[in-house]
Copies of this chain bind each other. A is one copy, B any other.
Amino acid sequence: MEDLAQLGQRAQQASYSLGLLSTMQKNQVLLAMATALTTQQDEILAANAKDLENPQVPEKFVDRLRLTADRIEAMATGLKQVVALPDPIGNVDRAWRNEAGLMIAKERVPLGVIGMIFEARPNVTVDASALCFKTGNAVILRGGKEAIHSNQALVQVLRGALRANDVDENAIQLITDTSHATAEKFMQLTDYVDVLIPRGSARLIQTVLAKATVPVIETGAGNCHVYVDKDAQLQMATDIVINGKVQRPSVCNATEKLLIHQDVAAAYLPSMIQALRDQGVEVRGDQATQAIVPDVVPATDADWGTEYNDLIIAVKVVDSEAAAIAHINRYNTQHSEAIVTDNYQAGKIFQQRVNAACVYINASTRFTDGFEFGFGAEIGISTQKLHARGPMGLAELTSYKYVIDGNGQVRH
């Protein structure tokens, strides 16, 4: 078993010097990393080939796992985009003089050491490293065993760029022992790791939540609803539901449920369901939906809490906006929820009462994304209320400290 305490100690040590780097120094390293990815492409592809040769890799992972020259180029481009982003470290949120005459400044600082736990996508290795580095955080990566050779090669390239720029290479470390026992120990490395960010399947995230003693930022689960109000425009509602469901069904901000007000269900559902079916979507419905469109698949209770991540949607007829809100607050994952309505009151009540990170009026749930929000980056989408909620960019990878200037003040 790897000596995780030593790994943690090295990360913590590196984090102290990372917090002192200027934005210019950090950007220089990020550009060097981008160049190194391109020049060392052959080594990366060779390592990736080893991963792909492994007969135990499930077929559905092969595409996520595969690296190509284009994909490596995309990683390098991603690094350059991070260079262009403003650095939140050193920003002062506010500063004020207190009654005793102390000048108190609330200054943004790195979180310290971030643990990333993820699955088979090797691009996460580069993305996460870049975002953590730009915010002065050390990162410890624990990727899926399927991608171990690719991840080792990528981390070697990134660490080479750190060394070449006289930056502590332990800013980026990879756990190479991909056993569950080591992963569990990692999740409990409270002396050295400030926060864990799991990225991947609901199962991975639930495991981390159950086993971790290090604080976790819960990400990713999205059982997102669109509620079509009685004052909705049919065409707008159809466009929003179709976009939410079919544009990219495998992701967490995809629409999984359609709630519709009973006053418009009979008029709207036949064409909306037809539009969904035209896109290859399996439509499941409650009894009221079945009464209107008899050939939908009957929905069971289990459907309401399920995130399909697939071309499936469940439809429920509700007798009021209040019933829609109650249903959402009971079954949602606090990710993204939308109402379609032309009624001002209905829209504002929905935004106020629905308990979720992002609540939309008249827009697709698919907009919940760091890039769409204009953050220029995304390390994940938080579904918890503590620290960060919704899309997390660079700002969400920071903490703060109070720096206080006095001239001999003592407390009375």
Are B386 and A387 interface neighbours, CB within 8 A?
yes
Are A366 and B410 interface neighbours, CB within 8 A?
yes
Question: Is A194 an interface position by the 8 A CB rule?
Answer: yes
Are B363 and A408 interface neighbours, CB within 8 A?
yes
Residue of B nearest to A349 (CB): B20
Known: A20-B352, A210-B213. A239 touches B357 (CB 8 A): no
The 8 A CB mask of A334-365 against B (1 = contact, 0 = none) is 00000000000001000111011111111110
Residues of B contacting A305 in the complex (Cβ-Cβ under 8 angstroms): none
Q: Give chain A's interface secondary structure class.
A: mixed
* A386 partner, pick from B99, B215, B357, beta carbons under 8 A: B215
Which of A100, A361, A400, A402 is packed against the most chain B CB atoms within 10 Å? A402
Known: A367-B409, A404-B359. A387 touches B387 (CB 8 A): yes
* Number of copies of this kind of chain in the complex: 2
Question: Is A271 an interface position by the 8 A CB rule?
Answer: no
Are A360 and B404 interface neighbours, CB within 8 A?
yes
Residues of B contacting A190 in the complex (Cβ-Cβ under 8 angstroms): 209
Question: Is A98 an interface position by the 8 A CB rule?
Answer: yes
State in angstroms the CA–CA spacing of A221 and B10 once bound together: 25
Shortest CB–CB separation between residue A12 and chain B, in angstroms? 9
Question: Is A247 an interface position by the 8 A CB rule?
Answer: yes
State in angstroms the CA–CA spacing of A355 and B402 once bound together: 11
Question: Is A102 an interface position by the 8 A CB rule?
Answer: yes
Are B409 and A364 interface neighbours, CB within 8 A?
yes
Shortest CB–CB separation between residue A139 and chain B, in angstroms? 15
Question: Is A61 an interface position by the 8 A CB rule?
Answer: no
Known: A98-B374, A410-B239. A194 touches B401 (CB 8 A): no
Are B353 and A411 interface neighbours, CB within 8 A?
no
Find residues 361-398 in chain A having any chain B CB closer than 8 Å to their own CB. 361-364, 366-368, 372-374, 384-387, 389-390
State in angstroms the CA–CA spacing of A361 and B103 once bound together: 10
Shortest CB–CB separation between residue A397 and chain B, in angstroms? 11
* A385 partner, pick from B111, B242, B362, beta carbons under 8 A: B111
Question: Is A96 an interface position by the 8 A CB rule?
Answer: yes
Residue of B nearest to A195 (CB): B386
Residues of B contacting A104 in the complex (Cβ-Cβ under 8 angstroms): 373
Shortest CB–CB separation between residue A1 and chain B, in angstroms? 22
Are A411 and B361 interface neighbours, CB within 8 A?
no
Question: Is A403 an interface position by the 8 A CB rule?
Answer: yes
Question: Is A240 an interface position by the 8 A CB rule?
Answer: yes
Shortest CB–CB separation between residue A243 and chain B, in angstroms? 4
State in angstroms the CA–CA spacing of A102 and B357 once bound together: 16
Find residues 184-217 in chain A having any chain B CB closer than 8 Å to their own CB. 190, 194-195, 209-210, 213, 215-217
Q: A236-B408, A363-B410 are in contact. List 9 more A-B contacts (CB 8 A).
A: A98-B367, A98-B373, A100-B363, A100-B367, A111-B385, A111-B386, A215-B216, A239-B408, A362-B409
